[in-house]
């Protein structure tokens, strides 16, 4: 997923590089060592995979490079927990909604704990994953990982060797190529002197007295996909001190977070306001015949596969997939621009064709009512009816969408005339989308 890096300035005048992925309710990830944005870009399959999974599940992820790392200001001499909380505050004030979920992982846990206590009115849920409240607890595991503890002068002289040793340790000595990629990201993400200062400051962290002050719903997670030695002891040590916190061990962090964050409804103030939207509705063409030919189980498996691909296409083109709408019942999404919806429709057809499940797609624009991450109103009904008029592999749009996108979408439109749509009082003129050629 392509990142658009932006900057927020802290109260002590440090520029922090941050990025926002997705368009759903927000989850903020405080920076860990070497920078979250930097390592997401530099190390494919690193923790950023969880970000991508969360975006596919309908969330937006806000994360950043902490001071002294990645694309943030590097000339830093304050590595205290208080300084790292200032980084988090700056990004939240610039990029987060009024209420959001907070997920502290690895070294991002302590600032997440401190922020959740200080600003409980802003945090809807707290997730603490593979993290700690007391620095010496972390370094007990660091020593078990056989990570180099060389003094600064040796580390500066042997920075490449030191980062490779560190990378091999955190990847569990299982994947030398991945370790080399991680080591390269470490070297470009932080200087050896900054790393040593960060490491020393982290060893002084102690937020144990804050744990009993956490008042927001909290889960403590042991993510077993971490490649190094098990971090389960950290989670089991942390959870008992947080009132009503649940301890979860999982191989699917994104799924666990999604279920936890949706308990009792989504975070307050997370959904966009009601108003005008471009609505896309897609459905499998002749699903009854396909079910008979493939069998129920095979058809549903293919439908789930295509549904995931469609949600990726929706997210990557700036749309929001609406929960509760799956293939078989149709996929419903909203967009801020007609051009985005039309480009997404082409990607949707490609995904369906690849799986052997041709789709028909309808697009309309109008006012909607948003409630519980769903959308309602006559405009939604019209989009669905237009979809039903489309042939397999075809996108039909209303005259409203055609007028909005005729000069921006890079396509042409074929007039299909007025249609009488079930449940719609007046005929609706529809147009088929054609390639520009």
For residues 96-125, average pLDDT? 94
Here the tokens at position 324 are 């509760």
Q: Which of 111, 379, 133, 402 is nearest to 245 (CA)?
A: 133
Q: How far is CA 84 from the centre of its chain?
A: 22
Q: Which of 345, 425, 363 is nearest to 400 (CA)?
A: 363
**In the predicted model, is pLDDT for residue 266 greater than 50?**
no
What's the length of the chain?
Answer: 437
Please report the pLDDT score of residue 64 as a whole number. 96
Main-chain phi, psi angles of 230, to 5 degrees: -55, 135
Please report the pLDDT score of residue 144 as a whole number. 56
Mean pLDDT is lowest, of 133-137, 278-282, 308-312, for: 308-312
Q: How far apart are CA 432 and CA 437, in angstroms?
A: 14
Decide which of 169 and 372 is more confident. Answer: 169
For residues 350-378, average pLDDT? 82
Bridge partners for 8 per DSSP: 16
Decide which of 377 and 307 is more confident. Answer: 377
**In the predicted model, is pLDDT for residue 150 greater than 70?**
no
Decide which of 226 and 116 is more confident. Answer: 116
Q: Which of 89, 92, 73 is nearest to 81 (CA)?
A: 89
The CATH code of the domain at 275-435 is 3.30.70.1230
Residue keyed to tokens 């997404």: 344
Please report the pLDDT score of residue 2 as a whole number. 63
Helical (H) or strand (E) element with 136: helix 135-144
Highest mean pLDDT: which of 98-112, 134-148, 243-257? Answer: 98-112
Here the tokens at position 93 are 């004030």
For residues 83-104, average pLDDT? 95
Please, which pLDDT band fits residue 229 given cuts at 50, 70 and 90?
Answer: low
Decide which of 186 and 128 is more confident. Answer: 128
Decide which of 21 and 244 is more confident. Answer: 21
For residues 98-118, average pLDDT? 94
**In the predicted model, is pLDDT for residue 44 greater than 60?**
no
Asked if residue 329 lies in contact with residue 359, where contact means CB atoms within 8 angstroms, the answer is: no
Q: How far apart are CA 246 and CA 291, in angstroms?
A: 41
Please report the pLDDT score of residue 203 as a whole number. 87
Q: How far is CA 362 from CA 160, 282, 331, 341, in A?
A: 55, 6, 11, 10
Angle between helices 48-56 and 296-316 (to 10 degrees): 110
pLDDT tens readout for residues 297-308: 777 667 767 776
Asked if residue 282 lies in contact with residue 361, where contact means CB atoms within 8 angstroms, the answer is: yes
Please report the pLDDT score of residue 332 as a whole number. 86
Q: Pairing between strand 123-129 and 218-223?
A: parallel
Highest mean pLDDT: which of 83-97, 219-233, 284-298? Answer: 83-97
Report the 10 Å Cβ neighbour count for 79: 19
Domain extents for the chain? Answer: 6-262, 275-435
Q: Which CATH architecture has domain 6-262?
A: 3-Layer(aba) Sandwich (3.40)
Q: How far apart are CA 67 and CA 84, in angstroms?
A: 7
Please report the pLDDT score of residue 173 as a whole number. 74
Q: How far apart are CA 97 and CA 270, in angstroms?
A: 7
Q: Following DSSP, what letter does each residue of 294-356 receive, concatenated?
A: H-HHHHHHHHHHHHHHHHHHHHHTT-EEPTT--TTT-EEEEES-HHHHHHHHHHHHHHHHHHT
Report the 10 Å Cβ neighbour count for 156: 15
pLDDT tens readout for residues 391-426: 989 999 999 999 988 877 788 999 999 998 888 888
pLDDT above 70 covers a percentage of the chain that reads 86
What's the chain's Rg over C-alpha atoms? 24
Helical (H) or strand (E) element with 152: helix 152-157
Q: Name the DSSP letter for residue 45.
A: T
**In the predicted model, is pLDDT for residue 87 greater than 70?**
yes
Please report the pLDDT score of residue 326 as a whole number. 42
Residue keyed to tokens 């996909």: 225
pLDDT above 90 covers a percentage of the chain that reads 35
């Amino acid at each position: 997923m392509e990142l658009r890096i932006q900057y927020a300035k802290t109260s002590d005048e440090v520029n922090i590089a941050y990025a926002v992925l997705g368009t759903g309710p927000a989850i903020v990830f405080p920076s860990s060592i070497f920078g979250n944005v930097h390592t997401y870009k530099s190390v494919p399959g690193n923790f950023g995979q969880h970000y991508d999974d969360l975006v596919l599940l309908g969330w937006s992820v806000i994360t950043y490079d902490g001071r002294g790392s990645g694309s943030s200001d590097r000339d830093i001499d304050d590595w205290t927990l208080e300084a790292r909380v200032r980084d988090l505050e700056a990004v939240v004030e610039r990029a987060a909604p009024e209420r959001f979920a907070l997920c502290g992982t690895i070294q991002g846990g302590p600032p997440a704990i401190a922020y959740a206590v200080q600003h409980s009115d802003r945090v809807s849920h707290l997730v603490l994953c593979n993290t700690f409240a007391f620095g010496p607890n972390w370094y007990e595991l660091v020593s078990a990982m056989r990570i180099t503890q060389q003094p600064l002068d040796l580390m500066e002289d042997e920075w490449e060797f030191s980062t490779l040793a560190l990378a091999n340790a955190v990847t569990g000595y299982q994947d030398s190529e991945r370790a080399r990629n991680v080591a390269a990201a470490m070297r470009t993400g932080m200087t050896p002197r900054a790393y040593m200062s960060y490491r020393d400051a982290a060893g002084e962290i102690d937020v144990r007295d804050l744990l009993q002050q956490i008042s927001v719903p909290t889960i403590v997670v042991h993510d077993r996909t971490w490649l190094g030695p098990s971090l389960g002891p950290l989670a089991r040590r942390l959870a008992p001190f947080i009132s009503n916190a649940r301890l979860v061990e999982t191989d699917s962090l994104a799924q666990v977070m999604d279920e936890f964050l949706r308990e009792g409804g989504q975070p307050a103030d997370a959904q966009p306001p009601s108003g005008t939207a471009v609505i896309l509705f897609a459905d499998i063409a002749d699903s009854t015949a396909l079910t008979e030919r493939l069998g129920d189980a095979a058809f549903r498996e293919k439908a789930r596969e295509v549904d995931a691909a469609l949600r990726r296409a929706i997210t990557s083109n700036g749309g929001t997939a609406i929960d509760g709408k799956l293939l078989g019942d149709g996929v419903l999404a909203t967009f801020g621009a007609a051009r985005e919806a039309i480009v997404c429709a082409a990607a949707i057809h490609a995904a369906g064709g690849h799986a052997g499940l041709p789709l028909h797609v309808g697009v309309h624009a109008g006012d909607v009512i948003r409630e519980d991450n769903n959308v309602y109103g006559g405009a939604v009904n019209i989009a669905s009816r237009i979809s039903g008029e489309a042939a397999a592999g075809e996108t039909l749009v209303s005259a409203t969408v055609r007028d909005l996108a005729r000069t921006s979408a890079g396509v042409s439109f074929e007039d299909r005339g007025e249609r009488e749509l079930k449940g719609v009082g007046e005929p609706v003129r529809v147009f088929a989308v054609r390639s520009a050629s």
